[in-house]
């Protein structure tokens, strides 16, 4: 155990002490109103918020549930929980009550903070749990509803490196999403590595348009900015038509995107600007060479691809600044250990496809494990390596090339979606006997869920009924875009579904509600 590893709380206090007079957060709300804080100014807000949590019974080791869009409240609560040794549970603010109930049941938060506009949804989910619910206006810049007397946190001890800082639920290959446990040391490591990889310094500014409940915005943008003493321009939400104007207006130098929003920017017919200050942009997932060149012209810099997971903490593969390319994930990031292993667990030779594995210590360079699931945690490591389940090959120059994912996980506009979770929800529909979900290519979102369902005998559910069922139980990214009714699912001799036979041929592009057909058969 490394008692001297930095904590995220340390990194924040160091930034306040070193660059306290410099800007930290510039916030633009949904109406275009702009507020700003220095590091010292925001630290005062963090202290009052931490005191408010303590007044509500939150202490070291306790959970605070955040169900908020991008907002000063999210940032203040995140830093406040770290300051007092508590930990945050960020959930998608568009989650349904059923999804939120799962998170609440698995973590038992002391306090849950939601938006005033979605308070009824949260209260429905929290009924009977005992969690104290606090509603906050996401445009609020004073956060008086969260504040308490600062004297209440004077005696709060200093968090330790291995103390839990967050649990983020990420879809896996089972119907229950996995809770990824992250420590104080994890966030400090992510910030240090990503700041170095982006050559970030105190005079730079990150533009954050991706959701804060997601690891990308936390690891690659906020943690790195705090590590370097840089500032952050936080937008309420991503706007394809407004992204370049926002970058120019706030003099952003660094940004991070997925391929899907990058394609959205192109689809909105963005035009060249001469007032941009961008010198760096991370992106994840594939875009075409033509799209890459067009985006490079629009942004005024050549975006750098990266690869990482919630579990790997920083992006462990990054395209080098001197020669960024859209066709590779780059090389191992400085400070990270990455290899490609064959089926025997040995390093694969160049040009041979194998599994991406990442080296490091749980709780320091890698996540601390899966929440209350030691078996899955143990199965995810082998010989000191974390097994990502993703496949890749390395060329003779050391570039890593993505070759697909193992397991039933889709990547929908940057969000991990478990097809098993979606299948489980569909199977609960009273008219459905069983369901299978696959990913279909999508020009904007990379891939989207598509459902193949077998009705119960004598039933013929309509597409709008299935869509409504999913809307009530699944976040937007998880909802199937299309539904196909079949008489049976194709299976192997031992009963496993042969998903590679479930394709969207012209014969199955529309469901036939009155005469369900087998795959490929004409109704």
CATH of the domain at 484: 3.30.300.30
Structure tokens at 507: 């014969």
Identify the bridge partners of residue 28 per DSSP, sorted by sequence position: 34, 235
| 513 within a domain of the structure (yes/no) | no
**30-62: per-residue pLDDT in tens?**
999 999 999 999 999 999 999 999 999 999 999
pTM: 0.85
pLDDT score, position 469? 96
Q: Which segments of the chain have a pLDDT < 70?
A: 1-3, 154, 171-176, 405-408, 492-496, 505-523
| 468 within a domain of the structure (yes/no) | yes
* Cα(478)–Cα(503) distance, integer angstroms: 19
Question: Which domain does 469 fall in, by range?
Answer: 409-508
* Cα(137)–Cα(523) distance, integer angstroms: 52
| 437 within a domain of the structure (yes/no) | yes
pLDDT score, position 332? 98
pLDDT score, position 509? 39
Any idea how long the chain is?
Answer: 523
Number of structural domains the chain divides into: 1
| 266 within a domain of the structure (yes/no) | no
| 72 within a domain of the structure (yes/no) | no
Nearest to 445, CA basis, from 319, 263, 302: 263
Helices (H) and strands (E) in the chain, counts: 14, 26
| 237 within a domain of the structure (yes/no) | no
Contact yes or no for 327/289 (Cβ under 8 A):
yes
Question: What is the rounded (10 degree) CA torsion for 24, 29, 32, 36?
Answer: -20
| 240 within a domain of the structure (yes/no) | no
| 52 within a domain of the structure (yes/no) | no
Nearest to 102, CA basis, from 378, 497, 389, 478: 478
DSSP string, 310-341: TTT-S-SEE--TTS--TT--BEEPTT-EEEEE
């Amino acid at each position: 155990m490394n008692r001297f590893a930095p904590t995220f709380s340390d990194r924040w206090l160091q930034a306040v002490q070193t660059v306290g007079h410099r800007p930290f957060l510039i916030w633009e709300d949904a109406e275009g109103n702009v507020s700003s804080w220095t590091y010292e100014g925001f630290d005062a807000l963090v202290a009052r918020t931490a005191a408010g949590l303590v007044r509500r019974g939150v202490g070291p080791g306790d959970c605070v549930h955040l169900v908020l869009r991008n907002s000063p409240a999210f940032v203040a609560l995140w830093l406040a929980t770290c300051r007092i040794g508590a930990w945050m549970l960020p959930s998608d603010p568009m989650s349904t009550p059923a999804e939120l109930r799962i998170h609440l049941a698995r973590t038992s938060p002391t306090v849950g903070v939601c938006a005033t506009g979605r308070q009824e949804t949260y209260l429905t989910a929290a009924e009977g749990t005992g969690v104290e619910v606090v509603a906050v206006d996401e445009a609020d810049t004073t956060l008086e509803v969260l504040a308490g007397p600062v004297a209440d946190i004077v005696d709060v001890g200093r968090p330790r490196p291995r103390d839990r800082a967050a649990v983020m639920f990420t879809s896996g290959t089972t119907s229950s999403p996995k809770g990824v446990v992250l420590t104080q040391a994890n966030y400090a490591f992510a910030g240090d590595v990503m700041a170095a990889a982006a050559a970030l310094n105190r005079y730079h500014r990150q533009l954050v348009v991706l959701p804060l409940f997601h690891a990308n915005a936390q690891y690659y943008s906020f943690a790195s900015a705090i590590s370097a003493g840089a500032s952050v321009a936080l937008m309420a939400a991503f706007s394809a038509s407004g992204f370049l104007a926002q970058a120019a207006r706030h003099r952003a130098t660094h940004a991070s995107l997925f391929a899907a929003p990058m394609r959205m920017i192109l689809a909105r017919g963005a035009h060249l600007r001469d007032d941009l200050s961008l010198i760096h942009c991370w992106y994840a997932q594939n875009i075409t060479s033509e799209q890459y060149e067009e985006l490079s012209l629009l942004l005024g810099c050549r975006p750098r691809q990266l690869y990482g997971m919630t579990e790997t903490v920083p992006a462990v593969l990054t395209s080098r600044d001197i020669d960024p390319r859209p066709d590779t994930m780059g090389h191992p990031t400085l400070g990270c250990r990455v290899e490609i292993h064959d089926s025997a667990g040995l390093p694969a030779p160049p040009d041979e496809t194998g599994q991406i594995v990442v080296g490091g210590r749980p709780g320091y360079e890698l996540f601390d494990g899966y929440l209350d699931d030691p078996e899955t945690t143990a199965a995810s490591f082998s010989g000191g390596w974390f097994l990502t389940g993703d496949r890749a090959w390395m060329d003779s120059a050391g570039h890593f090339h993505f070759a697909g994912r193992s397991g039933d996980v889709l990547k929908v506009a940057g969000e991990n979606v478990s097809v098993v979770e979606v299948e489980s929800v569909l199977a609960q529909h009273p008219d459905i006997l069983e369901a299978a979900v696959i990913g279909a290519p999508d020009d904007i979102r990379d891939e989207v869920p598509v459902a193949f369902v077998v009705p119960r005998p004598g039933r013929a559910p309509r597409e709008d009924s299935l869509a409504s069922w999913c809307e009530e139980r699944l976040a937007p990214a998880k909802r199937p875009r299309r539904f196909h009714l079949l008489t049976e699912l194709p299976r192997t001799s031992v009963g496993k579904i042969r998903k590679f036979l479930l394709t969207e041929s012209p014969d199955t592009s529309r469901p036939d509600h009155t005469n369900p057909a087998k795959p490929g058969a004409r109704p």
